Amino acid sequence: MSTVWLEMPKQRPTAAKPQRRDPVATRQKLLTAARREFAKSGLAGARVDEIAARAGVNKQLVYHYFGDKDALYLAVLEWVYEEIRAQERTLNLEGLPPEQAIRKLIESSFDHLALHPDFIVLLNDENRNGARHVRASLRIEDMHSPLVSMVSKILKQGVRTGTFRSGVDPVHLYISIAGLSYFFFSNTPTLSAIFGKDLSSPTARRARRKHVVDLVMQALRP
Amino acid sequence: MSTVWLEMPKQRPTAAKPQRRDPVATRQKLLTAARREFAKSGLAGARVDEIAARAGVNKQLVYHYFGDKDALYLAVLEWVYEEIRAQERTLNLEGLPPEQAIRKLIESSFDHLALHPDFIVLLNDENRNGARHVRASLRIEDMHSPLVSMVSKILKQGVRTGTFRSGVDPVHLYISIAGLSYFFFSNTPTLSAIFGKDLSSPTARRARRKHVVDLVMQALRP
Amino acid sequence: MSTVWLEMPKQRPTAAKPQRRDPVATRQKLLTAARREFAKSGLAGARVDEIAARAGVNKQLVYHYFGDKDALYLAVLEWVYEEIRAQERTLNLEGLPPEQAIRKLIESSFDHLALHPDFIVLLNDENRNGARHVRASLRIEDMHSPLVSMVSKILKQGVRTGTFRSGVDPVHLYISIAGLSYFFFSNTPTLSAIFGKDLSSPTARRARRKHVVDLVMQALRP
Amino acid sequence: MSTVWLEMPKQRPTAAKPQRRDPVATRQKLLTAARREFAKSGLAGARVDEIAARAGVNKQLVYHYFGDKDALYLAVLEWVYEEIRAQERTLNLEGLPPEQAIRKLIESSFDHLALHPDFIVLLNDENRNGARHVRASLRIEDMHSPLVSMVSKILKQGVRTGTFRSGVDPVHLYISIAGLSYFFFSNTPTLSAIFGKDLSSPTARRARRKHVVDLVMQALRP
DNA sequence: AATGAATGAGTTTTCATTCAT
DNA sequence: TATGAATGAAAACTCATTCAT
C-alpha cells in the first residue's frame, strides 16, 4: 500500500547544507499541504493561506507553481488518482484463481480507502461539481483503470470453472465493490451518530471488511 | 415518495389584497432555496446572498428565521432526514414475505436517492466535518431509523423460513443496501468520466437498480 | 460655470439629527472621492481602499453601489461629461453676433478646463484604452454635444455677414478650440519643465487664454 | 523621421556560435518592450513581468540594467524626448522663407505624433504626476528645444518681411502648434465616439493636417 | 415581518522586488 | 550576464453578519 504522499521530499544526497532553494521539494510540500487542506475543508472551504502556511512557504508560490487554487486542486486530484492506479498495478490478480482474485480485489479496495481517507473527501467535492476537473484532465484520462477488463476476465474464468454464477456485469460489480467500502468510510460519522455506535473503531472496521467480502463472495456463488 | 421540497411556495389564499407578510411561506421559501444552494455548493461554498435571492426575500430574513448560516444548514439537514424517515414509514414491510420485504427496501432506497440527489451532497458535507450538526441535533437523534430492527426481524424470519442464509449482520446489511445505491449516485460524474460511459441516463439507472437488487438478493441466499 | 461636484450632498432639511443612513449621500460621497482619486492616479493607479477612505465609508459600499472599480470609473466619466454638457447648455450662443459667439465659446471652453483640471486626466486615461467606457455608455452617447452644429451655424452666419472667411470645417474648428486649451492644461508640468517657465501661474494662464482667443479669431478673419 | 524604436533588436553579428550574452541588445530589447508596455498601460498599469516577457528575457534583468520600474520609465521618457529632438534637428528651418519654415514646422510636428503615438501616452502619464521624471532628468534638461528661439527668429523675420503680423508670442505659438496636433491624436478615441465619426482613418488624418496648417497660417497673416 | 444600508474581517490574486545559483 | 525561486506588501473583491428604518 503506497504511502508515498506522506514522505518528506528527498534531500539531495550530496548537498552538505540544507538547500534553501529546492523547487521540487517546494512543489511537493505545497502539494502535500494542499491535499490535507482540501481533504479537511473541501475545495471551497480550503484556504490558500492555510496551504502555504502548512507547507511553510510563501503564499505566492502556490500561484508560481500551480497558477491558481483550482489548478492546485486538480494537481491534488491527479495525485490521488495516480496513487490508486499505482496501487492497483501492484495487485497482480492475473495468476490467481478467480475466487482469490476477487477477494483480494475487495480487500485491497477496502484497505486503500482505510489508508487514504482523504481520497473520499476529494472525490466527493469533485463529484458535486460534475467532475469538472477530472473531465478536463488529460492525465487522469490516461489513467483509465485496467481493473474493469480484469474483473471481466476473472468473472468469465470463474463462470467457466463453475466458481461464479453468470450474468454479473463487471462494471457494476466493480462499482459495487468500491461502493460497499466507500460509503462506509465516507459516511462513518453520520452512520455512527444515527446508529449510536462507533463505526470508526478498528473492530468495527474489521467487521465491515469481513461483511463486504462475504457479501460479494456470496452474491457471486452460482 | 414525498416531493414536498419540489413544491412551489404556498399560494396566497383568498385574501383580496395580496398578503405581503407570510412568515410560514417565507420560512419555507428560504428553506427550499437553502436546500438547493447547499446541495449545489456545499456548506462552505453556499452563499447567503444567493439563498436569499433564490427565495426572493431579503437576506436579513435568513438571520431572522434561522439565526445564522450554520443553523440554516442544520434545518435543511433535519428536513431531508425527516423526509427519508417519512418515506421509510410508508414502506409497511411487516406484512410482506422476507424476500419481498428486502427487495422492496432495496428498491425504495435506490429510488429515494434517485429522486433526491441533494440528499447525498448534503450528507457528504456533513460527514466531512464529522457529523457536527447531526450529532448536535436532538430532532435527528429522535429520528433513529426503525429500519435496522425491522431488517433484523426480516432476516430472522427469512432464516427461519429457509429463504435467507444466516450470519448476516443487519446493521451492515442496511449499510450495504444504502451504499450500493449511494455510491452510484454520489459518484456518477467521476465514474462516467473514468469509464467513458454515461451513467446518468435512465437506462444506466435501470441497469444499476437491477444489479443492486440482484447482488443483495443473491448474497442472502442460503 | 458649474461647481456642482464640489458641493456636499444636501442634508435632508427636516432631519434633526444627522442621518446615519443616507444612500444618496453615500453614493455621492463615493463618486466625489472616486473622481479625485481617479484624477490623481488614473484608473490603474487609483485605489479602491483610498476612495472608500476619502469618502469616509466602508469599502464594500463601492461594490454595493457600483459593482466594481471599472463601473465606478464609468460613473465618474458620465458625471464629468454631463457637467461639461450642462455648462455648454448655459452658453446661449444663438442670439450673439458671430464674433462674440465664437469668442465666448473659446473662453468658456478654456475656463471649464481651468476649473475642472480632473476632466483632462480622466479623459487621457479613457483615450489610452480606446474610449472603452465612453463607447459602452448609453448615457454618454445620449449626450452628443449640440455645439458642433451650433459652431456650424455661427460660421455660416459669420461668412454671410463678412466676419469670417469661408472654408473652415466646424468639427475641426471645434477640436482646435478644445485642443488649444486642453494641451496647455494637460501638459503644463512638462512644458513648464522644458521651457523653464512656470505655466501654472494665474499670469501665465491669462496670457494663454488671450493667445488662444487671438489665434482663433485671427485665423477666422476673411 | 526616426523609426529606431520599431526596429528589431540587433541581429547577432557573424559569430559562429550564437552569442548568449549581449548586454547592449538585452538592454535595448528591454527598453523597446518597456516603451510599448508603458504606452499601452501607463506607468501604474504597466507590468514588469509583461515587459520582461515581451523582451524575452528574465525579469531580474530589468533591475539589473535599470534599477527599478520607475527608472526604466525615465529611460523610456528620455528616449522619446531624444527622438523628438533628433527629429527637430533635421528640420533645417533656418534657410527657409518664414512662411515655408512655419509650415514645415507644423507638418513635421503633426507627422511625428502620427508616427509615434506612444509619445503622447507616455507624456500624459508624466504630466499627471507633475513631470516628476522629466524634472529630475538631467539628460532631458539638456535637451531644451532650440525650436522656441528658432520660432522667435522666424516670426521676427516674417514680421520684417511683412509676411506675419506682429504680437505673436513664440512660446505660445509653439504650444499651439503642438496642441493642435497633440489633442487630435491624444483624444481620437473619445472624439470619434462623441462625434460618431472615425477620426483615425488616413482620410481623417489628412483633413486634420490640412486644417491645422491652414489655421495657423491664417492666424499669422498680418 | 421585512428591507436595504452598512460593516469588518477575510480571500484570492497580483506585483514589484530581492535572493541564490 | 542571466535565470528562476522566493518574498512581503498590497490589491480587488467577497461574505457572513449587524444596524436602522
| pLDDT over 90 percentage in chain A | 80
Q: What mean pLDDT is predicted for residues C65-71?
A: 96
- Pair B104, B91: CB distance under 8 Å: yes
CB contact under 8 A, C42 and D41: no
Instruction: Report the range of poorest mean pLDDT among B144-153, C150-159, D149-158.
Output: B144-153
For B5-30, the pLDDT digits (tens) are 333 333 333 333 334 678 999 999 99
**Given CB atoms, is D150 within the 8 Å cutoff of chain C?**
no
Closest protein residue to F3 using CA and C1' atoms?
A: D58
- Rounded distance in angstroms from the CA atom of residue C219 to the C1' atom of nucleotide F15: 62
The Cα–Cα gap between B155 and B166 comes to: 8
**pLDDT above 70 (res A135):** yes
For D64-104, the pLDDT digits (tens) are 999 999 999 999 999 999 999 899 889 999 899 999 999 99
Write down the pLDDT at residue A12: 37
- Pair A105, A98: CB distance under 8 Å: no
Q: What mean pLDDT is predicted for residues B43-56?
A: 96
Give the three-state DSSP class for C13.
Answer: coil
Closest protein residue to E1 using CA and C1' atoms?
A: B21
Higher-scoring residue by pLDDT: B20, C64: C64
Residues of C in contact with D186 (CB under 8 A): 124, 127, 183, 186
For B124-135, the pLDDT digits (tens) are 999 998 999 999
Q: Can you spell out the DSSP letters for D162-209?
A: TSS-S---HHHHHHHHHHHHHHHHHTHHHHHHHHTS-TTSHHHHHHHH
Instruction: Report the range of poorest mean pLDDT among A189-203, B101-115, B127-141, C172-186.
Output: B127-141
CB contact under 8 A, A208 and B130: no
User: CA nearest D105: which of D91, D120, D115?
Assistant: D91
Instruction: Report the range of poorest mean pLDDT among B16-25, C4-13, D45-54.
Output: C4-13
Closest nt to C58 (CA→C1')? Answer: E7
Domains and CATH numbers, chain A: 22-67 (1.10.10.60), 73-220 (1.10.357.10)
Residues of A in contact with B208 (CB under 8 A): 172, 175
For C80-132, the pLDDT digits (tens) are 999 999 998 899 998 999 999 999 999 999 999 999 999 999 999 999 999 99
Write down the pLDDT at residue C18: 45
Q: Please, which chains are in contact with C (at least 3 CB pairs closer than 8 A)?
A: D
**Given CB atoms, is A44 within the 8 Å cutoff of chain B?**
yes
Q: How far is CA B121 from CA A114, B80, B126, C4, C44, in A?
A: 21, 11, 9, 56, 42
Write down the pLDDT at residue D113: 97
Q: Which residue of C has its CA nearest to D190?
A: C131
The Cα–Cα gap between C53 and C32 comes to: 12
CA B177, distance to chain mean position in Å, is: 14
Q: Which residue of C has its CA nearest to D208?
A: C172
Closest nt to B49 (CA→C1')? Answer: F15
**pLDDT above 80 (res A217):** yes
**Given CB atoms, is A119 within the 8 Å cutoff of chain B?**
no
Write down the pLDDT at residue C5: 37
pTM for the full predicted model:
0.88
Q: How far is CA B148 from CA B88, B180, C108, in A?
A: 11, 17, 89
Q: Can you spell out the DSSP letters for B2-19?
A: --GGGSPPPPP-S-SS--
Closest nt to A66 (CA→C1')? Answer: E13
Write down the pLDDT at residue A20: 64
Write down the pLDDT at residue B180: 98
Q: Minimal Cα–Cα distance from C37 to chain D, Å?
A: 12
- Rounded distance in angstroms from the CA atom of residue D211 to the C1' atom of nucleotide F7: 56
Query: Residue C186: which of D44, D127, D144 has the nearest Cβ?
Result: D127
Q: What mean pLDDT is predicted for residues B90-115?
A: 96
- Rounded distance in angstroms from the CA atom of residue B68 to the C1' atom of nucleotide E2: 17
CB contact under 8 A, D189 and C144: no
The three three-digit cell numbers of residue B176, written as one number:
450495504
Please name the amino acid found at residue B25. Answer: A
Q: Which residue of A has its CA nearest to B122?
A: A128
Q: Please, which chains are in contact with B (at least 3 CB pairs closer than 8 A)?
A: A
Write down the pLDDT at residue C20: 65
**Given CB atoms, is C184 within the 8 Å cutoff of chain D?**
yes
CA angle B119, B125, B131 (to 5 degrees): 95
Q: What mean pLDDT is predicted for residues A160-189?
A: 97
Instruction: Report the range of poorest mean pLDDT among A80-89, A209-218, B32-41.
Output: A80-89
Q: Please, which chains are in contact with D (at least 3 CB pairs closer than 8 A)?
A: C
Instruction: Report the range of poorest mean pLDDT among A203-217, B52-66, D30-44, D133-147.
Output: D133-147
- Pair D164, D220: CB distance under 8 Å: yes
Q: What phi, psi does B165 have (nearest 5°)?
A: -80, 165
Q: Minimal Cα–Cα distance from A71 to chain B, Å?
A: 17
**Given CB atoms, is B144 within the 8 Å cutoff of chain A?**
yes
Write down the pLDDT at residue B25: 94
User: CA nearest D100: which of D18, D164, D21, D39?
Assistant: D164
Q: How far is CA D141 from CA C148, C192, D81, D125, D145, in A?
A: 41, 11, 10, 18, 9
**pLDDT above 90 (res D142):** no
In B, residues 67-106, which contact A (CB 8 Å cutoff)?
none
First to last CA, chain A: 32
**Given CB atoms, is C203 within the 8 Å cutoff of chain D?**
no
CB contact under 8 A, D165 and C218: yes
Residues of A in contact with B135 (CB under 8 A): 189, 193
Q: Minimal Cα–Cα distance from C77 to chain D, Å?
A: 11
Residues of B in contact with A135 (CB under 8 A): 189, 193
User: CA nearest D76: which of D46, D109, D110, D112?
Assistant: D46
Residues of A in contact with B88 (CB under 8 A): none
Residues of A in contact with B186 (CB under 8 A): 124, 127, 183, 186
CA C80, distance to chain mean position in Å, is: 6
Neighbour-count burial for C158-176, b at 16+ CB within 10 Å, e otherwise: bbeeebbeeebbbbbbbbb
| Strand F footprint nucleotides (protein C-beta < 7 Å) | 1-21
CB contact under 8 A, A218 and B219: yes
Q: Which residue of D has its CA nearest to C130?
A: D189
Write down the pLDDT at residue B103: 98
| pLDDT over 70 percentage in chain C | 91
**Given CB atoms, is C136 within the 8 Å cutoff of chain D?**
no
Please name the amino acid found at residue A15. Answer: A
The three three-digit cell numbers of residue D187, written as one number:
483624444
- Pair D101, D154: CB distance under 8 Å: yes
Closest protein residue to F14 using CA and C1' atoms?
A: C60
- Rounded distance in angstroms from the CA atom of residue A11 to the C1' atom of nucleotide F2: 27
